[in-house]
Structure 1
Amino acid sequence: MLQLTLAQARRSIGRLAAAGLAIAIGTAFVAATLLASDLMTRTARDAMVTSLAQADLVITGAPLSDADVAAVGAVPDVAVADPQLEGFLQFSAAGRVAYQPYTAVAGDPRLQPLEVVEGRLPEDGEVAVPRAVADRLGLAVDNTVEVTFSRWVPLADGTDEGDGEIVEHVEALRVAGVADDPTGAFAATDGAVLVTAGDARRWAQLGDEEVRVDRMLLLLAPGADLEEVRTAVGAALPGEAGHQVRTRAEQAEVLIAARSGQQDLLTALVLGFAAVALIVAGLVIANTFSVLVAQRTRQLALLRCVGATARQLRRSVSLEALLLGTAASLVGIAVGTLLAQGALLVLRNAAPHLPLPEVVALRPLVVVVPLLAGVLVTLVAARTPARAAARVSPLAAMRPADAPSVRAPGSRRRLRTALVFTAGGLVLLVVAATVGGALSPLLGLALGIPGGLLSFVGVLLGSVFFVPRLLGRAGGVLARRDAPAAVLAAANTVRNPQRTAVTSAALMIGVTLVAMMSTGAATARNAFDRELDREFPVDLEVAAVDEQDVLAASDLAAVGELDGVDRAVGLRSVVGVIEGGHEGLHTTVAALDPADATAVVRGGLVDELGPDTVLVPASMAELAGIEDGASTTIGLAGDDGSLVPDASTSVVARVGDLPGHQLLVTSETLARFAPDAEVTRLWVRLSDHGAAPAVVEAVQERFSTQVVEVGGPALERAMFDRIIDGLLAVVVGLLGVAVVIALVGVANTLSLSVIERRHESATLRAIGLTRRQLRSTLAIEGVLIAGSGAVVGALLGTLYGWAGTRAVLGAVADGIPLTVPWRDLGLVLVVALGAGALASVLPGRAAARTSPVAALATE
């Protein structure tokens, strides 16, 4: 039978290649995903390890005092004990400002993650700046850069020991060199400024308190026993402090674990869609082997006549599936490896600072898992066709399977199971959507995921009952045109409901997931936008860090003309006080006229703003004990912190959701107690939320000579939109593969229909049906099968997407109405219908090429 099986496979190489393509695509995704996950883990580990330089041991877990550092340094076989002095300060030059981390030069070159590529290492009063900072501030070696740091200064007339104030100090430093970050330890901040340990300690010391460090790197003497020294170091540290002494590799694993949540989530997500591709591929393979069995009916019957047993025929089909699954899976693994290697090459060119390997590591797991997945899916998919081959009678050819009838015992069990699964799953979905909004999103997900799976399995089980009816209705509508092709197509789609339902289900799976993600994303984005508009009615706020720093009118006008900006309004403000609490509440009081507020503020925030009112943030009102509608007084504070009678006014408090932590009044109200107030902040309304990052960058560039804070929900909204769009792009790309695989299934079903209706097609040709009409019949049949799966999938996906969004976001957003992504759903339907028509091309040509005389002569 082996030689016969191989001969049959060679004769059917074209159709097996189509099925092999389906399984190869699925295994390629599995292999590429595993390789990408391994690459990300290796890169993260290498980055973490190299950021720890060549340290033998790392001490973390609790701040280390000078005494701790000395005690560790005195441990035998500890050659170098280097405390990591790091911080974050403002550096400025030529009127430009950069907030940048700094790190001290290590006590030993082996512990230094940065390297100086131009100039030399800094000495006291000097720095080595990253290339990005040098370019931003226009610095070169031997230039001067200023650093701003804070110191605690006791008051000269203070009666208590703690009396004092924090005073900013500015110090000029010489640029000794340009530092590079070859390990990517500071990649997130474009490098770090390299300084001496003395300067770093002086900047970090706020007052007389001792400077403590969070991490210390150790180098051991040659030949020292690592575990013995680790034990001795642990004994030298205070036992109750909670210090952790780890090796460099162990510390890297801890850092990776703390940052790998999103990576693991992405890997699981992509593997999930790879599993979908494999499931769809399994349906395609089942159809493919059904076609092969139908083509070989006479051959199988002849084999039975000459003595082949049913078991031998079943094993022959299974062996053919094993060979196909193995070959296709190996091809998929090779393709997935090439994809991962190509992505690695692109990433190495795009991010040369990352410690990326030159080639992907083809570990056994990367080969074994996709290979087993592909082979198992193929064997399971071929099981039913193998049984069909074994049932071939020596004297009879296989006829189309009977349609499941509700009267048959097996069909009744299938129908009951489908109804129970669907109803139970829908109940869980309703409870999840309700519980997620009222109690806990986690509980909502815990109920919603099983509910969605149960109901979807129920729909798939019951598809054999409702898909033929749906096709019959749709085909009936087309048949009213009295076109022979439409009438024949409508009748042909319901002749084998089992096969038609399975083929439609392959496309239904992909469309359901696309519609679910699109609906969920659209609903979540709509709910998120409504919530942001309610809680943060201003897109962007630009505020001077120093309240005495005035924003120039020319800068305000320039911001208003930026691309993506709809309107920008300047706000005059002062530091004032409002009655409430123990001695009143000191805060910023900003002025905004109602006409300007209407132009930049979203929602109804400004409706309550008037000449005798003050808008108070809800959190501030609670802190000060101010109730909505209560009369209060605002104004300037005197030396003792209380309100100045001549610089205050009575107003009515209106509590609401305000951006920032300031009080909001009209210009008329502010003029009563602070007529000389200057513009110190700017409110911006964007015309396009997607332009928020570019607008923020342009605003920061415009105010590069001043220290300003730029914030607001527009950045959060843009980040949320990018996450959703990126996730949808991944999902649509992966599910596009599932749809392509499903098309092979539609083509196989139509091919099987051509084989089974060979005599019928010849008769129709003989009585006048043209080749074009015969091809049109199969095209309409393909469109009906694909369209039914797409319509059902779109409806299910819309339901799942809305229920899932309510389960997750119901607790954080008030009322989540269904948002239907009509454009996305319409595009999916158009693609599905076009795909169904495309899948009919080859079967249609095969049917049209058959001569009526030749087809009739085979009977």
Structure 2
Amino acid sequence: MWSFARSAVRAYRASLVGSFLIVVSAAALLTANGVLMESGLRGDESLLVAAAASFAGTAVLVVELVVASTFASALRQRNAQFALLRAVGATPRQVRSMVTAEVVIVFALAAPLGAIPGLFAGQLLMPALVSGGIVPAGFDLVISPLPVLGALVLLFPTALLAGVLATRKITKVSPTEAVRGGSAESSGISPARRITAIVLLAAGIVIAGTPFVVSGTAGSAAGATSAFLLLSAAALAGPVIVGAIARRAARATRSSRNAAAMLALVNTRGFSRRLTAAIIPLALLLALGTVQTGANHTTVEATGVQLRAGLGSDLIITSPDGVTAEQAAAVASTPGIDAVVASSMVPAEVKLDLEDEFGDFSWEQTGLRAVAGSTSGLMDAKVTAGSLDDLTGPDTIAVSSDSVFSAGKNVGDTIELRFDEDTAVSRTIVAVYDRGLGFGDYILDESSLPAPNRPAAADQLFALGSADLSSLGLQTVSVDDYVQQTKKGAAGQQQFGAILLFVLIFFIATAAANTLVMLTSSRKPEFALLQRIGTTRAQMSAMILIESVFVMATALVIGTLAVIPALGGMAYSMLGVFSLGIDWPVYAALAGAVVLIATIGMVIPAVLGTRSRTRA
């Protein structure tokens, strides 16, 4: 069996080379993320662990889907070969064993080629990690075989399952039936697959409504997952959707004399499964990039909206070296200044769960907004319970609604803070507020901080009134300018996430292009038959171009429809308005990538295939 599998790999290397490249890329991607995760765990860097875990949640799902789709597409092209093996006496078990052996061979060659570079690829991200404050300067990544093993454990079963599913139809029928249906495709799907698609569709719609029930970032994060559920439903029901669209289009153009259009629509209707394998990765590319950048865009906008609505000051007073207590006192006594409150962000760690189940990993790094002076009239954090006026005791704190929601706490409950690894202090929640994006998740009085952790100078002063403070060596900016600076800083903090998103999108784009090239290249016998019955090269080129337009249009529609509920709910929850919440420049770039990949991946292989056949 192994010798037969090796021969099959050599004979069908053109169809398996795409799977080989995808496994290399997937192994590198998962291994690199595993290195970041292990390094964060071993180095007690909770922000790095959180960033790697957040990326892993999306990356694993995407990689599993892409690897399974690629192997299934490569093996589905060989249905005629599997049918012939059945006809000459091969049992279903032997066919499955051969496919399993081929998958093992591809993995044995491809996985090390991807995993070994992946061990060191994390070093390329160190500048972004340091500049984003995720790890300190000089932090070293841990290199061990564990990320490689983790990548293999995730990828190998997926590829095996894809191989089994791709050959299931051939192995379940009799040899005669296998030969007769070896090259045919049905747009129908099994009842189990249909029910699963309906369940995922319903779940996606319900979860998309979460932001309308749960406000803030918690509801928005839950709602964002609806895009992947809706896309999964489309993937399962893809043959039915593509087949139905093609049938209606064929009926609408039945009277047309355009042979290329009719050929394209008939091909699309007859090979809906093949096109679904090409459409879904393109839709995933568009959906993933749109929902992630849209979420980031909405978060940054919500930060600005909350800050602008919550600041009642007329001026923001700053200094390159911070505003000292003496300068703050001088500002407060300056004619024309009616009220002043000093504000600083202090790094700390918080543990909302008092049960120490995970040791140091129960603590999360955060920032505390320390204020000095009365916030009345200057800072409106939109308090929903308690009062910021109660931030007078040494053991009090105000917490955003997003933070208390995730921990299930409220006014009167306690949380733990620590400013170093040895000392932890308990704080009682005296107020809960909604504008956590604008003012941070935690607010306390500066005087309640331990003496070593009190800022020597405030980051800024919020002031009512107007005065020339240049004689004090201070700078003043308007609230609008301060909000814009804060939004720019919030966008800059997302640099690391943007890099990881680009890597994942590039992986999906590579997989989508590979699938399209592989599917189009496998149609050489079809092109040869069309030429023999009189179809011209111009007609075939037009046919492929129309098919590529169908693919790109369907991918754009599915990808866009999958993200609209998620981003719409997120915009309503965080901004309070009904909006699509799409970052349009990014969406346009992703849509352009879909068009480019569909055109190049289908038209160029088709032109080369028909040219070589003509010359022969």
Instruction: Using structure 2 for the length normalisation, give the TM-score.
Output: 0.69
* 1:403 counterpart = 2:169: no
1:471, distance to aligned residue in structure 2 (A): 5.0
* Residue from 459, 465, 470 that aligns with 1:664: 465
Cα deviation, residue 787, structure 1: 3.2
Does 2:306 align with 1:531?
A: yes
**Correspondence list, 1:117-516, <5 A:** 256=44, 260-275=45-60, 276-294=62-80, 296=81, 300-301=83-84, 303-340=85-122, 362-390=143-171, 391=173, 392-393=175-176, 396=180, 398-404=182-188, 410-411=190-191, 414-430=193-209, 432-437=210-215, 441-442=217-218, 444=219, 448=223, 451=226, 454-470=229-245, 483-516=258-291
Q: Which residue of 2 aligns with 1:683?
A: 476
Contact persistence 1:404–1:497 (CA under 8 A) = no
Q: Where do residues 4-153 of structure 1 align in structure 2 (5 Å cutoff)?
A: 4-41=4-41, 45=43
Kept after mapping to 2: 8 A contact 1:516/1:796: no
The CA distance in 1 between the partners of 2:388 and 2:223, in whole Å, is 39
Larger Rg: 1
* Distance in 1 of aligned mates of 2:474 and 2:124: 48
The residue number in structure 2 matching 1:837 is 599
The answer to whether the 8 A contact 1:315-1:386 is kept is no
> Which residue matches 2:584?
822
Separation in structure 1 between the aligned mates of residue 198 and residue 579 of structure 2, nearest angstrom: 28
**One-letter amino acid matched to 2:378:** P
Contact 1:287 1:745 in 2 (8 A): yes
**Is the 1:472–1:490 Cα contact (8 Å) retained in structure 2?**
yes
Query: Partner amino acid for 2:197?
Result: A
Q: Which residue of 2 aligns with 1:601?
A: none
Q: Give how far 1:588 is off.
A: 5.4
Of 548, 553, 572, the residue aligned with 1:782 is 548
Q: Is 1:574 paired with 2:349?
A: no
| Corresponding residue SS for 1:819 | coil
Offset from partner CA, 1:52-94 (integer Å, 9 cap, x none): xxxxxxxxxxxxxxxxxxxxxxxxxxxxxxxxxxxxxxxxxxx
What is the DSSP-based 3-state SS (H/G/I as helix, E as strand, rest coil) of the residue aligned with 1:308?
A: coil
Partner of 1:617: 378
- CA 1:482 to 1:271, structure 2 compared with 1: closer, same or farther past 3 Å? farther
The percent identity for this pair of structures is 18
Q: How many residues are aligned here? A: 497
More RCO (CA 8 Å, sep 6+): 2
Question: By how many angstroms is 1:26 displaced?
Answer: 1.0
Distance 1:760 1:479, change over 3 A: farther
- AA aligned to 2:66 is V
Distance 1:346 1:680 in 2: 33
1:762 aligns with 2:555: no
Q: How far 1:541 moved relative to its partner?
A: 2.4
Matches of 1:376 and 1:844, distance apart in 2? 37
Aligned to 1:120: none
* C-alpha distance after superposition, 1:128-168 (max 9, x if no partner): xxxxxxxxxxxxxxxxxxxxxxxxxxxxxxxxxxxxxxxxx
- Give the AA of the match of 1:386: T
* SS of corresponding position for 1:617: coil
- Residue in 2 aligned with 1:80? none
Q: Is 1:849–2:612 an aligned residue pair?
A: yes
- Supply the distance in 2 between the matched residues of 1:800 and 1:462 (Cα, whole angstroms): 20
Change (3 A) 1:719 1:474: farther
1:746 is displaced (CA, Å) by 2.0
- Unpaired runs of 5+ residues, structure 1, are 46-255, 552-570, 579-586, 590-614, 625-656, 668-675, 690-711, 855-859
Go from structure 1 to structure 2 and tell me whether the alpha carbon gap of 1:618 and 1:402 turns closer, same or farther (over 3 Å shift).
closer
Amino acid of the structure 1 residue aligned with 2:76: S
Q: Name 1:717's counterpart in structure 2.
A: 487
Q: Is the 8 A contact 1:282 1:378 kept in 2?
A: yes
Residue type of the alignment partner of 2:552? A
- Deviations for 1:512-561, whole angstroms, at most 9, x for unmatched residues? 1111112222222222222223333768523764777999xxxxxxxxxx
Matched letter for residue 152 of structure 2: L
The DSSP-based 3-state class of the residue aligned with 1:403 is: coil
Does the CA-based 8 Å contact 1:750-1:782 persist in structure 2? no
1:817–1:2 CA distance, 2 compared to 1 (3 A): closer
Equivalents in 2 of 1:848, 1:662: separation in Å?
Answer: 75
Q: For residues 684 and 414 of structure 1, what CA distance do their matches in structure 2 show?
A: 59
Q: What residue is the counterpart of 1:234 in the other structure?
A: none
Q: TM-score, normalised by structure 1?
A: 0.51
Does the 8 A contact of 1:318 with 1:386 survive in 2? no
Partner Cα distance (1:506, 1:588) in 2? 55
Distance 2:288 2:34 in 1: 22
- Partner of 2:237: helix, strand, or coil? helix
Distance between the aligned counterparts of 2:294 and 2:255, measured in 1?
34
Alignment of 1:535-574 (within 5 A): 535-536=310-311, 540-542=316-318, 545=324, 574=334
- SS state of the match for residue 541, structure 1? strand
Q: Which amino acid aligns with 2:587?
A: L
CA contact (8 A) 1:27 1:278 kept: no
Contact 2:25-2:507 within 8 A present in 1 as well: yes
- Aligned pair in 2 of structure 1 residues 737, 678: CA closer, same or farther (>3 Å)? closer
Q: Is the partner of 2:167 in helix, strand or coil?
A: helix
CA deviation profile, 1:198-252 (whole Å, cap 9, x unmatched): xxxxxxxxxxxxxxxxxxxxxxxxxxxxxxxxxxxxxxxxxxxxxxxxxxxxxxx
Counterpart of 2:344?
A: none
Output the CA distance in 2 between the equivalents of 1:523 and 1:16: 41
Could you tell me which residue of structure 2 aligns to residue 205 of structure 1?
none
Secondary structure, aligned partner of 1:683: strand
Code of the residue aligned with 1:497 in structure 2: it is: S
Between Structure 1 and Structure 2, the one with more helix by share is 2
RMSD (Å) for aligned C-alpha atoms: 4.3
Task: Give the 3 Å change call, closer, same or farther, for CA 266–307 of structure 1 in structure 2.
Answer: same
Q: Which has the higher strand share?
A: 1
Cα 1:816–1:345, aligned 2, differ >3 Å: closer, same or farther? closer
Structure 2 Cα separation of the partners of residues 416 and 304 of structure 1: 31
Flag structure 2 segments of 5+ consecutive residues without an equivalent: 342-375, 382-386, 390-437, 440-459
Which amino acid counterpart does residue 18 of structure 2 have in structure 1? A
User: How many angstroms does 1:29 deviate by?
Assistant: 0.4
Change (3 A) 1:617 1:344: closer
Partners of 1:541 and 1:681 within 8 A in 2: yes
Secondary structure of the residue that 2:494 maps to in structure 1?
A: helix
Distance (whole Å) between structure 1 residues aligned to residue 388 and residue 103 of structure 2: 72
Rounded to whole Å, the distance in 2 between the matches of 1:619 and 1:526 is 18
Measured at CA, do residues 616 and 535 of structure 1 come closer, stay the same or move farther in structure 2, by a change above 3 Å? closer
